Amino acid sequence: MNFRSASIALLVSISLAPVARGQQDAVPRYQDADGEEIFGPDYQPEPAPEKGLPLYIGRPNAGISAPDSLLLLPQDSFRQMTETWSLPTEDLRRQLPSDVPLLRDVRRGFQVWQMPRLTPNRQSPAPAIDPTAEMKVHYVYVGQGAGAIVELPCGVAVVDLGGEFGGGSGSVDGGALFGAYLKAFMEQRRAYSNKIDVVYLSHPHADHINGTKQLRESGITVDKVVDNGQTSNAGSAGKQTEFRNWATQGDLKHRYSAVELARQVTATGATNAAIDPFSCATVTAFWGGANEKLAIPSYSNPNNHSVVLRFDFGQASFLFMGDLEIDAAKDMLDQFDENTEVFDADVLQLAHHGATNGIADGLLKVVSPRIAIISMGDKTSTGDKSAWGHGHPRIQSLSILQDDPVTVGDMRPSAQTFWGYQNQEESPKDFAVSRAIYGTGWEGTIIVTANQSGQYTVSGAPGH
């Protein structure tokens, strides 16, 4: 089907040269060799001064689940406070269940006799409440970037608001494209009362937050915001901070959640009333802001601070990776080493628009997706921020997804020939796609519909 025609000192290098004064604000202060905005000596994010809602123990429909007795216990209860452990009471310390999945750095803090052990206790998924109920995820075409709308029977969420920006032949305004699609979406669905229940910003990069301006001017209201907590008054982290404050109207304690690595304790992920405001689905957050790792060269890139999100709707599951690159994906799997099955999901939005550094073999093996979605631009744009400028998607990535051993489980209804890049700023090459791999730059906006029995259909947006 065809839907659409070392340390901070190491950062001071040629690839991290400051941008000259007087250039437009859209130009980042520091860039890597691929032209992506990165953190530098005088552009460092701070943790969110107000963390918002406390993080609770996640319970996604995969992997090992935490016992019911602990679901109301904030994860902060298990965090190391200086040299001591801050459990609410000595009685609770003695009664700590043996089947709480805790991350490695937390487990090290317990005495041997106290160390929680993992016991697989997940039961079969609950039967569908309503076999006719459906959720839809709209992976919106925004040029080179990402933005998605999650349409649920009980509410609506937005995952990133980005899109292509900058000049070049055929370039598009991705923020405007997402804003227009979102506005039309709301006009056609009056039951949502022109309100988004939660906006998730995976990380502060323009191609993921470029539509914040359009949302602010749309008249659509936002109830809650979730991001990686990175805070600044400059760069894209400044835009993330500004949007957070605008959307919550300053009520960060009740309408916001910072998903920071340092706040996460259990290897079942994190949740709260901002991360998961829905009665008909389960949303779990993983990873996020890791400012404590900024001295590691790969963590100078905001991509590696991406919030990873999982949506469960009955037996249907969707995973959003932001732009998490291979190094951070390996670190994430290391943190969840005894419960990596928590990432096993059916529909995967590929990290980093199909770049080779977004294809982590270990993670793909764990996720074992049935369907893969690539949010990227099309080949008609030749700006430096376009799919052509970045060389996305890479043919190497497409081959990994499709070739033996098979990564993407489902097949397309019929094979089609699309395109990819061997390298950035090169002519695209044809690539035959037979597996269920879909790209917004190939086909326009992609809508994945799921019922609670875990059955999926893939289509294009009407009129696209």
Is the model's pLDDT at 303 over the cut of 70?
Answer: yes
Domain membership of residue 440 (yes or no) is yes
Looking at mean pLDDT, say which of 100-104, 252-256, 381-385 comes out highest. 252-256
Do 94 and 238 fall into the same domain? no
Q: Give 303's contacts (C-beta < 8 A, 6+ positions apart).
A: 36, 203, 205, 322, 323, 324, 325, 328, 351, 352
Residues counted in the chain: 464
Q: Mark whether 138 and 164 lie in a shared domain.
A: yes
Q: Are residues 199 and 270 in the same domain?
A: yes
Per cent of the chain over pLDDT 90 is 67
> What integer pLDDT is reported at residue 93 of this predicted model?
44
Domain with 408 in it: what CATH number?
Answer: 3.60.15.10
pLDDT band at 439 (very low <50, low <70, confident <90, very high): very high
Question: For the whole model, what pTM was predicted?
Answer: 0.89
Could you tell me if residue 12 is inside a domain? no
Q: Which residue has the tokens 């998730």?
A: 200
The first and second tokens of residue 10, run together, are: 């190491």
Q: Is the pLDDT of residue 39 over 90?
A: yes
Q: Is the pLDDT of residue 19 over 60?
A: no
Do 106 and 179 belong together in one domain?
Answer: no
What span, in angstroms and rounded, lies between the C-alpha atoms of 326 and 296?
14
In a domain, 447, yes or no: yes
Which tokens in the block code for residue 359?
């294809």
- What is the three-class DSSP state of 332? helix
Mention every residue, 6+ apart, whose C-beta is less than 8 A from residue 244: 48, 201, 225, 227, 252, 256
- Our count of domains for the chain comes to 2
**168 domain-assigned:** yes
Confidence check: pLDDT of 22 > 50: no
Mark whether 180 and 268 lie in a shared domain.
yes
Average pLDDT over residues 93-119: 54
Q: Residue 315 and residue 312: Cα distance in Å, rounded? A: 7
Q: What is 19-46 written as a DSSP string?
A: PPTTS-TTS-SSB-TTS-B--BTTB--B
| pLDDT for res 87 | 46
Tell me what the mean pLDDT of segment 199-214 comes to.
Answer: 96
Same domain, 103 and 139: no
Please report which confidence band the pLDDT of residue 91 belongs to, taking 50, 70 and 90 as the band edges.
very low
Instruction: Report residue 417's pLDDT band, with 50, 70 and 90 as the boundaries.
Output: very high
Say yes or no: 168 and 80 in one domain.
Answer: no
Residue 122's pLDDT is: 41
Count the Cβ atoms, other than its own, within 10 Å of residue 427. Answer: 9
Q: Which of 367, 353, 74 minimizes the C-alpha distance to 208?
A: 353
The reply to whether 169 and 229 lie within a common domain is yes
In a domain, residue 248? The reply is yes
Flag whether 33 is in a domain. no
pLDDT digits (tens, 9 = 90+) for 344-384: 999 999 999 888 988 988 999 999 999 999 999 999 988 88
State CA 275 to chain mean position distance.
12
pLDDT of residue 125: 45
| One domain for residues 90 and 159 | no
Q: Which of 222, 234, 209 is nearest to 41 (CA)?
A: 234
* 179 and 314 part of one domain: yes
Residue 409 scores a pLDDT above 70: yes
Q: Is residue 73 very low, low, confident or very high in pLDDT (cuts 50, 70, 90)? A: confident
> 151 exposed, middle or buried (CB, 10 Å; 0-12, 13-18, 19+)?
middle
* 227-231, 356-360, 428-432: range with lowest mean pLDDT: 356-360
- Tens digits of residue pLDDT in 157-179: 999 998 898 878 888 999 999 99
Residue 217: strand, helix, or coil: coil
Q: Are residues 107 and 153 in the same domain?
A: no
The per-residue pLDDT for range 120-157, each reduced to its tens digit, is: 434 444 455 577 899 999 999 999 999 999 999 999 99
Q: How does the average pLDDT of the chain come out, rounded?
A: 86
How does pLDDT run across 74-86, given as a tens digit for each residue?
Answer: 888 776 543 444 4
Residues 107 and 132 in one domain: no
- State the residue range of the domain holding 74: 66-114
Q: How confident is the model over 316-320, as a mean pLDDT?
A: 98
pLDDT of 244 above 50 = yes
**Domain-embedded: residue 87:** yes
